[in-house]
Amino acid sequence: MKRSEQSALDSQYATNTGCIESGPTWSDSVADDEGDGHGDSSCEAVSDGNAANRPSETETGGESSEGNEDRAPTSIRFDDEPSIRPIPRTGSLNNVSQESGEKPYMYSFRMHHAVPNANDTRSDGALSATEYNFVLDDYVEYADDTKIPRLRGKATNNRLLTAIHESHWAVLATVVSASCFVTYSLSNHAPYLRADLSQAIVITTVLATFPEVAASSGAGAFAGMVGRAAIPNYGWLTLLTLIVSVVWMVFYHFKILVGCGGRLGTCAFLSMNITSVVFTMPSGAVSWSLYGDAGELWSQRLEVLPSVLTVLACTFLSAIGGAIRLKSEIPLNPVQAPTTVALICMLILEPTGFIYTDQMDAGFAVGSFVAMASDQYLPSVLDFTGAGFTAGLWILFLDPFFLDFGGKKGFTSFCGFATYVALWRILFGRRAKKDM
């Protein structure tokens, strides 16, 4: 689109009720793409008197007046039937939020009160309005280290919100610890929810509030899935949360297993093993038999029907979670879609009293962890399906071992993911990475 044409489009929306507070204007972004960007982003709201003299869209017939072709819009009108500026379709929002000096877009606008009354007018007789501030930018999702677009409120002089949005290390450690404690409490104390359901509730809650720290919540929640046989009280749980926080910061800083399915659970599983081998088991608080009992292996623990249901549930969830992410028009948080689908399936199944709910919940959980893998490794729905099926087989294989261990199901999903990717590369050669 030519700059003059875009400016004409911009002028249709310029009024007196709000303005782009900071960040490059729309016309400037177009100019930048043409190699002539200037990035001047300041603007001021136009007074009511000036707005009255500005030609409306009806008066101009949708055309910008001569002399206004190079003027950037200074504000956005919100009428009774507001118009919305069409935005060119794009595969990523990076060019919108990051092209001009790596600065996010910040929008500020005023919206008139819906029902005017005596208290809704200013001294000059104009309607009063409420001001809203939003920021359009990207945040880095640490499950697979990708940028996810977000629209959030502007955190003005709020250090806590700023620290959360910037993923400060102290915030990440706090989220890990809190998620671990809450998940453990929900599953091992009243209301005694299933561990799979507990972690899904905790992570979904974090996703609905501060999605930028969802990966940290996942690492803590997966560790909190531990049973009381492995972590008998809150004292030992405190030690586990400290260890998983440190291990997660190492994973986060050095980008260990970035993009791999089961990355967060593997972090929790490693932390659980450190806690058990170094502290709880040598102290006698926990039995070493939790690592496995030779007298109680697959033939004593597994039955055909529940085993089949476990594998099918795992395959189904991995395929659905992967399909949602791959078919989305914009990048999705890799933790969000699989966890949400898994939670819905568990909530539907929970009240039925189905005798094999435990086994199916295990399949849903492991399948959702596989579906968090990057599409660089699993570029198609068929790949997610195959990895989910492989992970389902690993559930059966690891069933007699690591009893009540936190992070076991996450590690199981990593085993299934890694096995599928390794087999594919051995049989068909190393695949080219999917274009972003």
Q: Cα 101 to the chain's mean position, in Å? A: 25
Q: Using alpha carbons only, give the angle 122, 126, 131 rounded to the nearest 5 degrees.
A: 75
Report the distance separating Cα 396 and Cα 425, nearest Å: 24
How confident is the model at residue 122, as a pLDDT?
54
Q: Which residues of the chain have a pLDDT value below 50?
A: 1-101, 432-436
Per-residue CA distances from 164 to 94, 130, 263 (Å): 21, 26, 22
How confident is the model at residue 152, as a pLDDT?
78
Report the distance separating Cα 334 and Cα 345, nearest Å: 18
Q: Are strands 105-112 and 146-153 parallel, antiparallel or unpaired?
A: unpaired
How confident is the model at residue 133, as a pLDDT?
76
25 sits in the region (left: phi over 0; alpha: psi -120 to 50; else beta) called beta
Report the distance separating Cα 135 and Cα 194, nearest Å: 38
Among 296, 299, 314, residue whose Cα is nearest residue 394:
314
Residue-wise pLDDT tens digits, 70-118:
443 334 444 444 333 333 433 333 443 333 335 677 777 666 665 555 5
Among 41, 61, 54, residue whose Cα is nearest residue 14:
54
How confident is the model at residue 139, as a pLDDT?
85
Contact assessment for residue 310 and residue 395, using Cβ atoms and an 8 Å cutoff: yes
Contact assessment for residue 377 and residue 232, using Cβ atoms and an 8 Å cutoff: no
Residue-wise pLDDT tens digits, 243-273:
999 999 999 999 999 999 999 999 999 999 9
Residue-wise pLDDT tens digits, 378-424:
999 999 999 999 999 999 999 999 999 999 999 999 999 999 999 99
How confident is the model at residue 56, as a pLDDT?
44
pTM: 0.74
Q: Are strands 18-22 and 146-153 parallel, antiparallel or unpaired?
A: unpaired
How confident is the model at residue 127, as a pLDDT?
58
